[in-house]
Structure 1
Amino acid sequence: MRHVVLDTETTGLEVTQGHRIIEIGCVELVNRKLTGNHYHQYVQPQREIDPGAMEVHGITPDFLADKPTFDRVADEFLAFIDGAELIIHNAPFDVGFIDAELDRLGARRTAVADHCRVTDSLVLARRKHPGQRNSLDALCQRYGVDNSTRTLHGALLDAEILADVFLLMTGGQTSLGLSDDEEGSLDTADNPDGGIRRLPTSRPPLRVMRASAEELARHEQRLDAIAAASGGPVIWREQQSAAE
């Protein structure tokens, strides 16, 4: 299974007002593991950038002056996402801008839906955490994802952060390594039992720490206090008697 986590930065918020894409960032997941493959491209939008948008992402017209226009990078971008399931936070925004750019290609006209399926991670988050804040920053805090470097929005950085959040939110995966060759992974070649790691029979026995007489007495005192407060039998003692 191949996922591509995607984010864009734009000249403004409204695609209907002719705003354009100025940055695309994508990271690849295969079988829910980061592969290290990514697509990152700044784009010359051929129009001004709203001051409010510049405050968010910090990308200036001077920086974009020598960058390629979208038509020059479209084929490479489409090849990267082709056949994947796109993971996008607030997908209608990004897909709307990408489709508008693709629509400008004329004879090469196509759409995101022609190349891949789209999953909106914001919709997933709202289902999983109804009534809570589900921005990317809020999800980072909820799932313990480090976003301390996110002082400004950036398409590739935000895609990398979203990939971590998506894996944690959809499967509880906490190891986000690039391969199965990391320390602590299971090597099925060395484990004929299907990857099950078995402890050696020659290992030293575990040390058993038994409660002292004083500790046992305090335990009984605690059970007496529970019995007095509840006015009934203590389940712990009933279970102990049954076991004996």
Structure 2
Amino acid sequence: MPVPQHRQIVLDTETTGLEVEQGHRVIEIGCVELHRRRLTRNDFHRYVNPEREIEAGAVDVHGLTNAFLGDKPRFSEMADELWRYLEGAELIIHNAPFDVGFLNIEFARAGREQKLEDICTITDTVAMARKLLPGQRVSLDALCKRYGVDNSTRDFHGALLDARLLADVYLAMTGGQSRLALDDQGGDGRQRSRFVELLDPPARPLPVHRATDQEWVAHRARLQAIHQKGGCRWADDLGEAVED
């Protein structure tokens, strides 16, 4: 799988309830930015005053209350900033229709006529996981367990925490071009992803072991035998090494 060259943003939201059609609102937005499969730490995290009551069942899930959110900005006050942050990126979201549906309604309330799918590419990791793991559980907790992502601090759902966990899961799920870090804290004390990309050049040049003359003769003989049985796709590259 090629390494994406564009911005990727792993996004999660928390809401006052499950049904956007019933007027439920976004109360937390958490975004983690990836560039070339690396965490950039250019995160976006806001709590939002929903201007309505939060359902008790929702509070049990995320722990956010109206008292806590009472002095937080309304969505309309941060809409332009969030729009600029997201514009042009690939959004990686677990159960994307839920979050995108809520955000599109919030942006519409704030006066935006376009939808997120008009300015972003949307990748749903639930759909991705169901394709990769047919018949298996694809909740974020289940995927963390499967891919060895430490979610022991997840007592409540939280948009930024879940976005960071999903970033680790996504990196593990899309190619395994990562290795587990030995520590979870960066030098500045901030939480680090447990996956560290192996994209930097090695500290020392890799040794090059060239074939001996004897090995090269044996290699050509093997290609010749393959070619005689039905063709060899490397014949053109090797020139005289393989003849009809």
Instruction: State if a TM-score over 0.5 links the two structures.
Output: yes
Looking at structure 2, the residues matched to 148 and 66 of structure 1 have their Cα atoms a distance apart, in angstroms, of 30
Secondary structure at the aligned position of 1:36 is classed as coil
Secondary structure at the aligned position of 2:42 is classed as strand
Contact 1:23 1:43 in 2 (8 A): yes
Report the counterpart of residue 42 of structure 2 in structure 1: 37
Report the counterpart of residue 49 of structure 1 in structure 2: 54
Following TM superposition, by how much is the alpha carbon of 1:187 offset from its aligned partner in structure 2, in angstroms?
Answer: 3.8
Total equivalences in the alignment: 191
Report the counterpart of residue 151 of structure 2 in structure 1: 147
User: Is 2:183 the counterpart of 1:174?
Assistant: no
Give ranges in structure 2 of 5+ residues lacking alignment: 1-5, 182-191, 209-244
Secondary structure at the aligned position of 2:92 is classed as strand
More helix, by proportion: 1
Following TM superposition, by how much is the alpha carbon of 1:115 offset from its aligned partner in structure 2, in angstroms?
Answer: 1.8
Query: Matches of residues 177-216 of structure 1 in structure 2 within 5 Å?
Result: 186-187=200-201, 196-198=205-207
Report the counterpart of residue 93 of structure 1 in structure 2: 98
Report the counterpart of residue 160 of structure 1 in structure 2: 164
Structure 2 CA distance for partners of 1:176 and 1:97, relative to 1, 3 Å: farther
Choose the corresponding residue for 1:112, options 107, 113, 116.
Answer: 116
Following TM superposition, by how much is the alpha carbon of 1:37 offset from its aligned partner in structure 2, in angstroms?
Answer: 1.2
Contact 1:125 1:134 in 2 (8 A): yes
Structure 2 CA distance for partners of 1:101 and 1:185, relative to 1, 3 Å: closer
Looking at structure 2, the residues matched to 131 and 185 of structure 1 have their Cα atoms a distance apart, in angstroms, of 33
User: Is 2:145 the counterpart of 1:136?
Assistant: no
Structure 1's consecutive aligned runs of 4 or more residues displaced over 6 angstroms after TM superposition are: none
Structure 2 CA distance for partners of 1:176 and 1:4, relative to 1, 3 Å: farther
Following TM superposition, by how much is the alpha carbon of 1:197 offset from its aligned partner in structure 2, in angstroms?
Answer: 2.5
Report the counterpart of residue 242 of structure 2 in structure 1: none
Following TM superposition, by how much is the alpha carbon of 1:185 offset from its aligned partner in structure 2, in angstroms?
Answer: 7.1
Contact 1:33 1:176 in 2 (8 A): no
Choose the corresponding residue for 2:29, options 24, 31, 39.
Answer: 24
Report the counterpart of residue 11 of structure 2 in structure 1: 6
CA displacement 1:131-157 (0-9 Å, x = unmatched): 000000000000000000001000000
Looking at structure 2, the residues matched to 72 and 151 of structure 1 have their Cα atoms a distance apart, in angstroms, of 30
CA displacement 1:172-208 (0-9 Å, x = unmatched): 1333778xxx8x87547x76xxxx4339xxxxxxxxx
Structure 2 CA distance for partners of 1:186 and 1:119, relative to 1, 3 Å: closer
Structure 2 CA distance for partners of 1:130 and 1:41, relative to 1, 3 Å: same
Contact 1:164 1:176 in 2 (8 A): no
Report the counterpart of residue 80 of structure 1 in structure 2: 85
Amino acid at match of 2:161: L
Following TM superposition, by how much is the alpha carbon of 1:109 offset from its aligned partner in structure 2, in angstroms?
Answer: 2.8
Using the aligned pairs only, state the percent identity.
Answer: 59
Looking at structure 2, the residues matched to 129 and 114 of structure 1 have their Cα atoms a distance apart, in angstroms, of 29
Amino acid at match of 1:125: A
Greater Rg over alpha carbons, structure = 1
